[in-house]
Amino acid sequence: MADSAQAAVQFCDVSYNLAKGREILYRLNLAAFSGEILVLLGRSGSGKTTALKLVNRLREQSSGEVLVDGRSTRTWNLIQLRRHIGYAIQEVGLFPHFTIARNIGLVPELENWAKEKIAARVEELLKLVGLSSDISSRYPHQLSGGQRQRVGVARALAADPPILLMDEPFGALDPLTRSDLQREFLLLQQKLQKIIIFVTHDLHEALLLGSQIALLEDGKLVSCSTPEEFVRSQDPLVRKYVEAFAGTDVRKRGRA
């Protein structure tokens, strides 16, 4: 637990049990720093999404501490904590009754920004995620899946939070759109240098995006390593995961 003040998101011995006693996460220790993309990799039910939701307290751990900027999430004001953290998910969760501009500008609106400042920020964000500003007056159902995901990312970035949580944000997209978005996302992160925690079950995505890959299995951390180390690992569970994706060459790290 060195460097606790500098680390932006840290899991310290975090466990999470359901009320019935079923263990979802067991003594998780992980850390993510600025400029990093920490990928939580694992199959369905491995606990990766739960781990993500502990960071912005959509769930609360049964024991251990999650530290955000060196402070336990339990000591943060809940609303401030969440406004400090962007959140983008596979289902996007755009508000169907709000225009795109209102969807993106909601957190700034809640933070009482001036109208002109919000409008300028919305325009800036649309450009940042590669969308034309004419869509700002449309509604989510009038956009394509890829456009909605971009809006979801723009919304998560709206108030410029230093931390971004992403739960398979590109999961529901066709392969071409997904790889476009992944590439743009990497460039974006190079520019923004956020702390990103990214949940996926897709090894290719993990290798492409991750600076650290944490493999979870049954609520336990199997390994946490760089993509290069990950594909070379001799750990049997890591091997199993890598081999499941074999056939396509995962050793080549496709960072363009």
Which tokens go with 165?
A: 């949580």
75-134: contacts with another protein (CB under 8 A):
78-83, 85, 87, 89, 91-97, 106-107, 110
CB environment 169-187: b (16+ within 10 A), e (fewer): bbbebeeebbbbbbeebee
> 142-152 as b/e, with b when 16 or more CB fall inside 10 Å?
ebeebbbbbbb
Site for another protein in 211-250 (CB under 8 A): none
The rounded distance, in Å, linking the Cα atoms of 47 and 37 is 18
User: What is the closest distance, in whole angstroms, from the C-beta atom of residue 68 to another protein in the complex?
Assistant: 13
User: Could you tell me the smallest distance in angstroms from the CB atom of residue 195 to another protein?
Assistant: 16
Task: Pick between residue 81 and residue 216 the one whose CB is nearest to another protein.
Answer: 81
Residue from 67, 25, 28 nearest 223 by CA: 28
Residues 44-63 interacting with another protein (rule: CB under 8 A): 56, 58
Query: What is the spatial distance between Cα 134 and Cα 132, in angstroms, rounded to a whole number?
Result: 5
Which C-beta is closer to another protein: that of 26 or that of 139? 139
Q: With respect to another protein, which residue has the nearer C-beta, 1 or 78?
A: 78
In angstroms, the CA 162 to CA 39 distance is: 17
Contact 182, 206 (CB under 8 A): no
Query: Applying CB under 8 A, does 19 fall inside the site for another protein?
Result: no
* Minimum distance from residue 116 beta carbon to another protein (Å): 21
- In contact, 37 and 226? CB cutoff 8 Å: no
Q: Which residues contact 159 (CB under 8 A, 6 or more apart)?
A: 83, 107, 108, 111
Give least dist CB 178 to another protein, A.
19
Q: Closest CB to another protein among 76 and 185?
A: 76
| Start-end of H helices in 38-169 | 48-55, 78-83, 100-104, 106-110, 115-128, 145-156
In whole angstroms, the minimum distance from the beta carbon of 66 to another protein comes to 15
Q: How far is the CB of 48 from another protein (least distance, A)?
A: 16
Among 26, 33, 113, 139, binds another protein (CB under 8 A): 139
x/- track of binding to another protein for residues 162-201 (CB under 8 A): ---x------------------------------------
| Contact set with another protein (CB under 8 A) | 56, 58, 78-83, 85, 87, 89, 91-97, 106-107, 110, 139-142, 155, 165
